[in-house]
Amino acid sequence: MSQKPINFRHLSTLVAVAILVGTELVGASWAAGWALGGLFQLDPLVSRAFEAIFALAGFVGLYFFMRTAVKNEPIRG
């Protein structure tokens, strides 16, 4: 059973999209956690927890985005 060769054009596109969308999505969600902590004048520890939760949500969103991107632009083939 032979595998198809790697399409480096698709691979480079997916890497570029992961960097661009990942930076935007994780950065914006992290900033939202920071902003909510400051807006409600929360304790710094609680504010950091908000940042971590929102950043985790950003990473989950990036995972689902990349999963869909790889389905639409496969690396092999």
pLDDT tens sequence across 3-19: 889 999 999 999 999 99
CA triple 61-63-5, angle to 5 deg? 145
| Integer Rg of the chain from CA | 17
pLDDT tens sequence across 28-56: 999 999 999 999 999 999 999 999 999 99
Q: Which residue has the tokens 């400051």?
A: 38
pTM: 0.87
Q: Is the pLDDT of residue 1 over 80?
A: no
Is residue 69 within 8 A of residue 14, CB to CB? The reply is yes
